[in-house]
Homo-oligomer: A and B are copies of this chain.
Amino acid sequence: MPKLTIVDIAKLAGVSPSTVSLVMNKRPGISEETRKRVLDVIERMNFAPSQSARSQILKSSQTIAVLFNMNSHPLEHLFQESLNKSILRYCTEREYNLVFVACSFGDDSAPVALPNILRSRGVDGVVSYGYVPVSVITGLQDLELPYLLLDSHQLPNHCMSLRVDYYGAARMAMKHLTDNGHTQIAYIGSNFPPLYSQQTFEGYRSALEEMNIVVPLSWIQMQSKDSDGEDSAEKQMQAILQSGAMPTAVFCAADIYAIGAIRALKQAGLRVPSDVSVIGIDDILISSYIDPPLTTVRIDTSRLANQGCDMLFASIDAGTPNTVHEEFSDFTLAVRSTVRSLK
C-alpha cells in the first residue's frame, strides 16, 4: 500500500497540509475543533510522519550517537552496557533515538576515522565512554556537535565531560578497609589512563599517609597501558604474594582487577577473606556472582547516565556545543564477602 503522507491526512480532515503539520507539532493558533478533527484522522489512519522529511528541514534527526569501542575486554563492556541501558531509557523518554556506532579505538597515535554517519546522519549529540583517543575528540570538535565524554578518563578540552570521582571512590574503599582494622593494604591498579590511575592511587596513598602507614613498594602494582586487566591483575597479585611480606588486604582500582586478584589468591591456596581481604571499585554485574561475592564501591550507573544525559540535552536544547565539566560522586558501599574485619 502507498505510504500515507501528510497531504493524505490533510485531505481526509478537510484542511491544508500546513494545518496538519501545525497540529502535529502542537503549535498554537489552531482552533480546538480542527485540532481534534485532525488528530482523529491521524489516530484512525495510524499515521506517522516521515522522519527523514522532518530532519531535512529541522536539521535535527532526533538521534544520539553512542560510540562503541569494539576493541575492549568483555568485562570492560559490562560497565558500559549498564550505562547504555540507562541512556536508552532517558533518550526514549525524550523521543530521541539511539544509534550505536562501532569504533575501533586503537592507540592514541593512530587517528581514528570517524564513521561518516556522524556527519551524514545529522545526529544531535554524541556520547562516548571511558578513554577516547584524542583524534576522536578533535574530530568531533570539528563537527561542532554536543559531545559528552561519560565516565571520562581524561581531561578533555573542547567537549563536555562527566568524570567519576575515582579519588573519592578509592577513599571510600580504603576507609572500609581501615575501618575494619586493615593497615597492611596492597594496591592493584594501572598507570593508564593517567587521570584515572592518578586518582585511584592518590586515594590509596593519601589514606595510608593520613594513618601513618607505610607499606613495601612491591605491594604497589601498576598495570601498564596495554596489559589485559583481568589476567594482569592475577600476575600482579602473584607478584605481591612473592614479595615476602604479606598484606591483609588488597585494594583494587577496579572490579576487573579484583577478579584477577581473587583468582590468584585462590590458586595460591589462600582464602578470601580469611587470609586476605579484597575490595574493588565499580560493582559490575559479575561482581556479585563470583565467589566470594565481591565487596566493592558501587558506582550508580543509572544516575551517572542520567546526569550525563542532563548535560548532553542541556547542550542540545541550547542548540550549541558546550564544554561543561562535571564530576560524579554518587557512591555506595556494596558490602559483600571479600572483606574481613580484623577487630
Q: A residues within 8 Å of B by Cβ? A: 46, 48-56, 61, 63, 68, 70, 74-75, 77-78, 81, 84-85, 88-89, 92, 97-102, 115-117, 119-122, 259, 285-286, 289-291
Decide yes or no: A89 and B74 within 8 Å by CB, A50-B120, A55-B52, A120-B49 being known contacts: no
Residues in chain B near residue A259, CB distance under 8 A: 289
User: Across the interface, do B290 and A52 meet the contact criterion of CB distance under 8 Å?
Assistant: no
User: Across the interface, do B48 and A119 meet the contact criterion of CB distance under 8 Å?
Assistant: yes
Residues in chain B near residue A52, CB distance under 8 A: 51-56, 61, 121-122
Residue of B nearest to A88 (CB): B102
Q: List 15 A-B contacts (CB under 8 A).
A: A48-B119, A51-B52, A51-B61, A52-B53, A52-B121, A56-B56, A70-B88, A81-B81, A84-B100, A88-B100, A92-B101, A97-B117, A98-B99, A98-B100, A99-B100
Task: Report how far A46 CA is from B291 CA in the complex, Å.
Answer: 52
Each complex incorporates copies of this chain amounting to: 2
Pick from B51, B98, B116, B119: contact of A121, CB below 8 A.
B51
A54 to chain B, nearest CB (A): 8
Decide yes or no: A97 and B121 within 8 Å by CB, A285-B286, A289-B259, A291-B290 being known contacts: yes
Residue of B nearest to A58 (CB): B52
Residues in chain B near residue A78, CB distance under 8 A: 285
Pick from B51, B88, B117, B289: contact of A289, CB below 8 A.
B289
Residues in chain B near residue A77, CB distance under 8 A: 81, 85
Residue of B nearest to A285 (CB): B74
User: Across the interface, do B102 and A100 meet the contact criterion of CB distance under 8 Å?
Assistant: no
Residues in chain B near residue A53, CB distance under 8 A: 52, 56
Residues in chain B near residue A51, CB distance under 8 A: 52, 61, 117, 120-122
